[in-house]
Amino acid sequence: MMRAPPTLLVLVVLAGALAGGGVIVQAALLKAHFYRHSCPAAEAVVRDIVQARVAEDPAALPARLLRLFFHDCFVRGCDASLLIDSTSTAGGGTAEKDAAPNRSLGGFDVVDTAKAVLEAVCPGVVSCADIVALAARDAVSVQFGRELWDVQLGRRDGVVSRASEALSDIPSPSDNFTTLEANFGSKGLDVKDLVILSGAHTIGIGHCNLFSSRLFISTTTGAVAPATDPTLNAAYAAQLRTACGSPSNNATVVPMDPSSPARFDSHYYVNLKLGRGLFRSDAALLTDRRAVGMIHALTKEGHFLKEFKNAVRKMGRVGVLTGDQGEIRRNCRVVNS
C-alpha cells in the first residue's frame, strides 16, 4: 500500500486536531524568537517589565497574568481580544473584559506598559497577544530564576471582543467534569490538558461567592445553614465557612491553594486528594477515572512542571491569528482605526 507523504500526514493529523469551535488553526506558523530580526529586544523588554512588577507584588501578580492568558485563549483563541475596552470593540457593544467571569482579572496595566515601551522601540511590530503570552510565562518563572516554558511567537491581534462569548466559553468554577471536558475539547485540548492546566489553581485567589454553594444552604424558613458537601474536606469546609461568613459574600477572597498560596508548585494535586479543592470544578476532576489516574503522578513537582510546560504551550496555540490575519494593535485596549 502506498504511504502518504509526510507533509500530507501532518496535514491530516492537524485537521483532526482542529475539529471543534476554538481551533488551533495557524499554530504551525508560530515559532521561537519570532521577533529576532524585526524587534530583537521584544522578549527582554517584556521580561524586564514583568520581573520588576512581580518584585513589587510577588504573591498576586503571577496568578493574575497567568489567568489573563487563560481567559484570553478560551475566547476566540489567544488573540488579545480580552484586552479591548468595551467602547473600542469593533461593532460596539460590551467587550470580553466586562463579562462577569473577567471582572476580577488583573494585570492589564502590565501589558499596557510593555506595549507602550515596545511601540516606542519597534512601532507596529509586536502583538498584544504575544505580550500576554510572554508576560504569563515570565511572571510564573520569577520564583524559579529560569524560564519554565518556551513561548512560540507570531500571534496577531483580534479585532472583535464580545462579552457574550466570554460568558459561554470560559469554564465556570461550578462546572462538572462532562462540561469541562466538552469545553476544553472545543479548543482542541484533551482530558490530560484539562487536568494539567487545572494545576494553575496552585496560585491565585477565589471569591467566596464562587464556591459558597459548597458551604451553605438555605433552609425552608429562609435561614442559612452549613451545607454538607461530601467531596469537600470537613475541616477545610469549616475553615472556609468562617472566612466567608455568608453565601452572598463576594468581597472576601481565599487562596486557592491553602498550603502554599504564592508558590507555583504541585500542591494543588495534593490538596485535591485530601478533599481540599476549592471549586466544584476542582473536585470534579476526582469524578473521572482518567483524571484520577493522572493526579497521583502530578503530586510530584518535577513531573507537574514538565507536563504543565507542554500543556500551556499547547493552549497558547489555540485559535491564533498569524500572517495577515487580524492586526498588530498600536494600543492593546483599542482596535486600530
Catalytic residues: 71
Q: Which candidate, 292, 332, 101, places its Cα nearest to that of 209? A: 101
- CB-CB neighbours of 98 under 10 Å: 15
Q: Give the C-alpha distances (Å, rounded to integers) separating 267 from 177, 198, 280, 300, 319.
A: 21, 12, 17, 9, 30
Of residues 83, 76, 67, 69, the one with CA closest to residue 24 = 76
Give me the count of residues in the chain: 337
Give the separation between CA 135 and CA 141, rounded to whole angstroms. 10
Whose CA is closest to 134, among 150, 117, 156?
150
Assign 3-state DSSP to the chain and report helix, strand, coil percentages, each to 5: 50, 5, 45
d(CA 224, CA 171): 28
C-alpha cell at 310: 507542554
Work out the number of other CB atoms within 10 angstroms of the CB of residue 274: 12
Report the alpha-carbon distance of residue 118 to residue 100 in Å, rounded.
31
User: Quick check: 80 and 157 in contact, CB under 8 A?
Assistant: yes
CA distance linking residue 240 with residue 282, whole number of Å = 15
- Answer whether 281's CB lies under 8 Å from 213's CB: no
**Residue 77 in grid coordinates:** 483563541
